Chains A and B, each alone.
Chain A
Amino acid sequence: MERYRVAIVGSGPAGLSAACHAAELGVSHVLLESAPHCANTIYRYQRGKHVMAEPAVLPLRAPLPFDAGRREEILTAWDQAVNDHRTNIRFNATVQSIAGERGDFTLTLADGATVAAEHVVLGIGVQGNLRKLGRPGEDLPFVQYQLDDPEAYSDETIVVVGAGDAAIENALGLVEQNRVIIVNTRDEFTRAKDANSQAILQAIDDDNVDLECFYESTVDRIDALEDGSDYSGQLTLDTKDGKAEVPIHRLIARIGAIPPRAFVESCGVRFPSDESAAVPEVTAEYESNVPGLYIVGALAGYPLIKQAMNQGYEVIEYIEGREVEPADTPLLRQKFAAIPGGDDVPATLALIQQRVPMLAPITQLQLREFLLDSEVHAPAEGEVLFRYKDYSNSIYSILEGEVEIQPGNPDDPKTPRTSIPLGQGQFFGEMSLISGRRRSATVVAGRNCIVIESSRRSLLTLMYSVEGVRRVVEESFLLRAIQSQIAPGCSTDDLSEVVGTATVEKFAAGDTVFREGDTGDCLQLIRRGSVTISREIGGREIVLAYVPAGQYVGEMALVSDSPRSATVRAAVATETVRLEGTAFKRLMEQHPDVRRRVREVYKERLTEDMDMANRTQSGNIISFLVEQGVGEATDVLLIDESLCIRCDYCESACASTHGGVSRLNREAGPTFANVHVPTSCRHCEHPHCMKECPPDAIHRNANGEVYIDDTCIGCGNCEKNCPYGVIRMGTETKRRPSLWTWLLTGLGPEPGAELKPKKKEGDRKKAVKCDMCRELDGGPACVRACPTGAALRVSPEAFFEMSGKDD
């Protein structure tokens, strides 16, 4: 059996870098790669894709080159480096198990061979290996598991196995020039996106398209054909009517990938939680809980190529017993400039963990990563950190000094003037983070205060991977939500009983929170999402009101001791905090203030509901808009079609103010009673687009706009993730059509026309979406350009209030 000092699994950026560095140092090593080439994830990118080198400030310290550029250039440069360093790389070597510990690991490969190593570096990423058919013939040369270019094949009979988006897109791409048979194990295409499943069904039904579908069928076996016929093989299918034999030229199976987690766990590595986003815990030296087993790259929670390459270099240094100052130390030193003694990065890190309990349970690496994504501020006394109604959603931890929280609207005379001091080690800002809504308080800095402001994404990552952080943040949210919404002036002790009964409940869009006529045994504080309140009137369910996160429902039954007077449903995916009725009633008995407040809300709602019940039309509009997902919007573009003259100046205004690319499609979208919802960003409370943005380029700023900054790498994830189709890929141009040239001579494009970029500007596409014209004074250009006043941008609450008053 071969024996090495280091076995590196996976030849991605991290693995390659580690292997090249080991080769450079003369450390005996082997790099095991299951694909027949390096860097399979990048290899699978589409041809010519531009790969970004974020974060730009981080220096690269790997023995192989990496610069932003085209996929091909990068792969060629890496192959070159692997050769130059005489790296010991073994392709087609799928590792099936890793056993042992430091000094004595045994890696078993799929072909039965074993490799012994003193240390193992796991850099297998999170994409997983493509799932194979698992039937005889799965590795025949004409059986493939991916398709780079559908146009590479013509006049063949090709079987596509699978019913997901990849399979459908491949089948539809191939059918232009081939005969295609798609094999679906089920009787419908439910796993795919709507557009894809509709397109495939249409193609199957269309007699002019040479596409057939075998439903409820699975692959039994594949045999090579050498009978002199044109076909390369024969596929045997198990169909619901028995076996079917199909002569084929090619088989393409798109049946997904196997997530690497099960494999990683089988090596003895522990994951901190069951969340799919969770990553294994590793030490500052990238060592997992299995001694001698190191984890680097995306699998360790570092999805960016440059970070992964640096880690590959560092991990070899650590294995060789050398100390390396991590590449991010100079960056952290800069960040810590505001902290006395911030020059000493390790000491400052220790100080932060010691002072901020929320950050105590996390590893050094997580802390570094978290702080790289944070800002340290030393605000002057009296400086406002954020204001009531701001839309920021970062979270702050107090490293030193004190801040003052002033909840509620400072301009509203009804809001009690209270302020809550917060001291060292505490954190604030979690309310907006969890509810996705505007700030509920103004926060002012005290004397000598130092705060750490961290981004929404890094805290969420932390909450998913470290149970302790999640618990601290959630408990604090619960208490503060009750304090600010229901019981201001009550101390933590006063509320302990109610908080003790509180549980978090989750509802999918359309789920019933409680039903009219039920006994009212609890109060539901909405912590994210929104709900509609409806009542049965004349045999039909009429929506009476829309209640966003931050408010509560269910007080009527508790105050009046009667059954529920209305039905409450989740308008979008919603989470509530359920407070038990008995405990809550006791709280009201002990605190007349609380009782008075709840009663006020109760009275207000009662009159509102009675008004609404007489105006069913506005109720219908609410339910229509809620169906359109407006419930999760913070600001939605609506068009009053009774005023819209279809001039499309809104679109022109958008294109004109955004580099010739409009982010708005007026015509598209549904209409109800003259209210039209065009395809335009709604700036969701919890933006779906933010979910998987590799460079974290999507942000929300204080006024609420969700926008994409310049670091967009054009990967298209946000476009796919947006359920409302409001993000498109486009190239902005600096060209500005001249109004006078056009007006007087008719030459050149009209102002507001969609423009193609100039040659020298390149044609690299980036994601573009509505940014509410945040860089222009006076608000969204689409609304300001509407000659008749048909277009308006409103928050759903404001709109519902408006439609309630009108008719």
Chain B
Amino acid sequence: MHTSFLTHMNFRWLRIALLVTAGAVAVYAWHDPIGGPNGGTWVGYGLGGLGAAIILLLLWYGVRKRRFASNAGTVRGWLSAHVYLGLALIVIATLHTGFQFGWNIHTVAYALMIAVVLSGLYGVYAYRRYPVQMTANRTGVSPQAMLEEIGSLEQQAVELADRIDDSTHQIVLRSLRNSAIGGGVLAQLRGGRPKKSEKAEARTEAMLEEKNRTLVASLDEIKQREADRIMRAESTMRFVAGQLSEAQPGQQVARIRELMDLLGRRRKLVQRLNQDIQHRALLQIWLYFHVPLSIALLAALSAHIVAVFAYW
């Protein structure tokens, strides 16, 4: 419909990132220092400085996006720069190392940086993929409305089960209590409920199905028996008989059907709601890696710089 952060200003930041990367590669290829390329040559320092500057700029994104009144570019532009310059970092930082890796603080900083960029890449993927799925799954119903609808279906189901008989009531109650919405981080990411609750629900439905079958099968027989009982009943028993006849099997069958329908609708809704929770979790989970890793990167980067200058 319109411009996203990836296509912002006709890929301005992609073009800038490509230009910077190409420049870095060219300088690196052209430069032939004694002892081979490494971080200590002037090209190495240049690339290192450039990389550090980019990292600081990318970190500043977290500040800029919370400065709501700020006029320093749009947040979309900042995110666009964040993504493309972040990707360019892979090349710039790798060239800065001169492909010298080891078990030291320098390589830790490099590794952290790669981890941050990779988690960010997942973020870009998630941002492009899940919003559309989310809208499709919601079909215009908000999670709040889904939750309310589930609540109302549950209430109806319990009331109906209560009118069927005590054992049904118990089973439905237990089944409803078992099924979870949302849950811990892992449950949210999985987007489903524990297998246990799936099974409990399947059992309930199977039980209801079974009950219905038996009822339908013995419908005529029961009807006859009930009718006989009512005929035989004393007048003082008429009241009870009236109640029994009201709860006659035909109606019972209809109630069980309705109950199954309610439970089925509820289960679908719970699935959709969990799916929605999963989408939201997938959209956010990576930030719990991306942000702490970048803080760690900042620390490691500082240590790297201090170490380099201390041992100069």
Which residues from chain A sit less than 8 Å from chain B, CB to CB? 640-646, 649, 652-653, 656-657, 667-668, 670-671, 674-676, 739, 743, 750-752, 776-778, 781, 783-790, 792, 802-803, 806
**Complex Cα–Cα for A786 and B2 (A):** 13
Could you mark each residue 1-22 of chain B with 1 if its beta carbon is under 8 Å from any beta carbon of chain A, else 0? 1111100100000000000000
Supposing A642-B135, A670-B140, A674-B135 touch, asked if A752 and B5 sit within 8 A by C-beta, the answer is no
Main DSSP-derived SS at the A contact region? loop
Stretch at the interface among B39-47, B63-71, B174-182, B298-306: B63-71
**Complex Cα–Cα for A466 and B249 (A):** 74
Q: Which residues of B contact A653 (CB under 8 A)?
A: 68
Q: Which residues of A contact B140 (CB under 8 A)?
A: 670-671
**Complex Cα–Cα for A671 and B1 (A):** 14
Supposing A752-B68, A786-B76 touch, asked if A792 and B2 sit within 8 A by C-beta, the answer is yes
Q: Which residues of A contact B74 (CB under 8 A)?
A: 783-784
Distance (whole angstroms) from the CB of B270 to the closest CB of chain A = 20
Q: Which residues of A contact B8 (CB under 8 A)?
A: 789
Q: Which residues of B contact A656 (CB under 8 A)?
A: 68-69
A and B contact pairs by CB, cutoff 8 A, 15 listed: A641-B135, A656-B69, A667-B144, A674-B1, A739-B66, A743-B63, A752-B66, A777-B71, A783-B74, A787-B75, A787-B76, A789-B4, A789-B76, A790-B4, A803-B1
B172 at the interface (CB under 8 A from A): no
B134 at the interface (CB under 8 A from A): yes
B187 at the interface (CB under 8 A from A): no
Q: Verify A785–B1 contact, CB threshold 8 A.
A: no
B56 at the interface (CB under 8 A from A): no
Interface residues on B, range: 20 to 34
Q: Verify A788–B1 contact, CB threshold 8 A.
A: no
B26 at the interface (CB under 8 A from A): no
Residue of A nearest to B139 (CB): A671
**Complex Cα–Cα for A787 and B5 (A):** 7
Q: Which residues of B contact A743 (CB under 8 A)?
A: 62-63, 66
Supposing A640-B1, A642-B131 touch, asked if A668 and B63 sit within 8 A by C-beta, the answer is no
Partner of B132, one of A649, A674, A783: A674
Q: Verify A751–B3 contact, CB threshold 8 A.
A: no
Q: Which residues of A contact B5 (CB under 8 A)?
A: 643, 787-789
Q: Verify A671–B65 contact, CB threshold 8 A.
A: no
Q: Please provide the 5 A-B residue pairs with the shortest distance between their CB atoms, ordered closest to farther.
A: A653-B68, A656-B68, A641-B135, A789-B76, A787-B79
Q: Verify A643–B135 contact, CB threshold 8 A.
A: no
Residue of A nearest to B82 (CB): A787
Q: Which residues of A contact B130 (CB under 8 A)?
A: 645
Q: Which of B60-114 contact A (CB under 8 A)?
A: 62-63, 65-69, 71, 74-76, 78-79
Q: Which residues of A contact B3 (CB under 8 A)?
A: 789
Q: Verify A784–B1 contact, CB threshold 8 A.
A: no
Distance (whole angstroms) from the CB of A208 to the closest CB of chain B = 9
16 extra interchain contacts, Cβ-Cβ under 8 A, other than A642-B132, A739-B63, A788-B5?
Answer: A641-B131, A641-B132, A643-B4, A643-B131, A646-B283, A671-B138, A739-B67, A751-B68, A781-B68, A785-B65, A787-B75, A787-B76, A787-B78, A788-B127, A789-B2, A789-B76
Q: Which residues of A contact B255 (CB under 8 A)?
A: none
Q: Verify B66–A786 contact, CB threshold 8 A.
A: no
Q: Verify A784–B135 contact, CB threshold 8 A.
A: no
Partner of A667, one of B1, B76, B142: B142
Q: Which residues of B contact A777 (CB under 8 A)?
A: 71
Q: Which residues of A contact B190 (CB under 8 A)?
A: none
**Complex Cα–Cα for A536 and B140 (A):** 28
Q: Verify A776–B69 contact, CB threshold 8 A.
A: yes
B193 at the interface (CB under 8 A from A): no
B267 at the interface (CB under 8 A from A): no
Residue of B nearest to A654 (CB): B68
Q: Which residues of B contact A646 (CB under 8 A)?
A: 131, 134, 280, 283
**Complex Cα–Cα for A653 and B134 (A):** 23
**Complex Cα–Cα for A64 and B71 (A):** 52
Q: Which residues of B contact A671 (CB under 8 A)?
A: 135, 138, 140
Q: Verify B131–A644 contact, CB threshold 8 A.
A: yes
